[in-house]
Structure 1
Amino acid sequence: MEKQINFAIQGHRADVGEYIIYRLLPNRFVDAVGPFVFLDHAAPIIHEPDEPLKKVDGSGAHPHRGIATLTYVLSGEADHFDSAGHHQKVYSGGAQWMKAGTGIIHDESMNPDPGTNDHTTHALQFWVNLPGKNKAEQPEYVPVQANEVPQMNLANESGWMKVISGEYGAMKSRIPTYLKQFIYHVHLEAGKEFALDIEEGMELAVFLPLNKAVINENQYPEGQFLYFDQEAGSIKMKSLPDTPSDIILFGGMHYHEPIVAQGPFVMNTMEEIGVAYNDFYKGKYGKINYNAE
Structure 2
Amino acid sequence: MPAITADVLTLPRIATPDPVTTEERPVRYVTTAPTGHEGEGFPVRRAFAGVPMSELDPFIHMDQMGEVEYAPGEPKGTSWHPHRGFETVTYMIDGTFEHRDSHGGSGTIRGGDTQWMTAGGGVLHIERPPEELVVSGGLFHGVQLWVNLPRAQKLVLPRYQDIRGTSAALASTADGGALVRVIAGEVAGHTGPGATYTPITMAHATISPGARLALPWRADFNALAYVLAGSGSAGSEGRPICKGQLVVFGHGEALSLSASTAQPSAEPALEVLLLGGRPLREPVVHYGPFVMNTKAEIVRAFEDYQAGRFGLEPAERLTHTD
**Cα distance in structure 2, aligned partners of 1:87 and 1:121:** 20
Q: Partner of 1:226 in structure 2? A: 247
From 156, 169, 172, the counterpart of 1:153: 172
Q: Partner of 2:57 in structure 1? A: 34
CA-CA distance at 1:106 after TM superposition: 0.6
**Cα distance in structure 1, aligned partners of 2:132 and 2:202:** 23
Q: Partner of 2:48 in structure 1? A: 25
2:32–2:244 CA contact under 8 A, matched in 1: yes
* Aligned pairs (5 A) from 1:91-110: 91-110=110-129
1:236 aligns with 2:256: yes
Aligned length: 286
From 71, 87, 93, the counterpart of 2:90: 71
CA-CA distance at 1:112 after TM superposition: 11
**Cα distance in structure 2, aligned partners of 1:282 and 1:32:** 35
**Cα distance in structure 1, aligned partners of 2:132 and 2:187:** 28
1:211–1:221 CA contact under 8 A, matched in 2: yes
**Cα distance in structure 1, aligned partners of 2:70 and 2:75:** 11
Quick one: which amino acid aligns to residue 206 of structure 2?
Answer: H
* Aligned pairs (5 A) from 1:188-227: 188-216=207-235, 217-227=238-248
**Cα distance in structure 2, aligned partners of 1:193 and 1:111:** 38
From 148, 152, 155, the counterpart of 1:129: 148
SS at match of 2:223: strand
**Cα distance in structure 1, aligned partners of 2:214 and 2:131:** 33
Cα-to-partner distance string for 1:91-133 (whole Å, 9 max, x where unaligned): 101111001111001100136997xxx9321111111111122
- CA RMSD across the alignment: 2.3
1:95–1:143 CA contact under 8 A, matched in 2: yes
23-32 or 126-135: bigger deviation: 23-32
From 13, 30, 43, the counterpart of 1:8: 30
1:44 aligns with 2:82: no
**Cα distance in structure 1, aligned partners of 2:69 and 2:119:** 31
From 86, 102, 121, the counterpart of 1:83: 102
CA-CA distance at 1:55 after TM superposition: 7.7
Give the structure-2-normalised TM-score: 0.82
SS at match of 1:209: strand
- How high is the sequence identity, in percent, across the aligned residues? 25
Gaps of 5+ in 2: 1-22, 264-268
Gaps of 5+ in 1: none
CA-CA distance at 1:2 after TM superposition: 3.1
118-127 or 38-47: bigger deviation: 118-127
**Cα distance in structure 2, aligned partners of 1:131 and 1:203:** 16
SS at match of 2:57: coil
SS at match of 1:164: strand
Q: Partner of 2:17 in structure 1? A: none
1:75–1:123 CA contact under 8 A, matched in 2: yes
Quick one: which amino acid aligns to residue 153 of structure 2?
Answer: N
1:112–1:121 CA contact under 8 A, matched in 2: no
Cα distance, 1:155–1:187 mapped onto 2, change above 3 Å:
same
**Cα distance in structure 2, aligned partners of 1:274 and 1:18:** 28
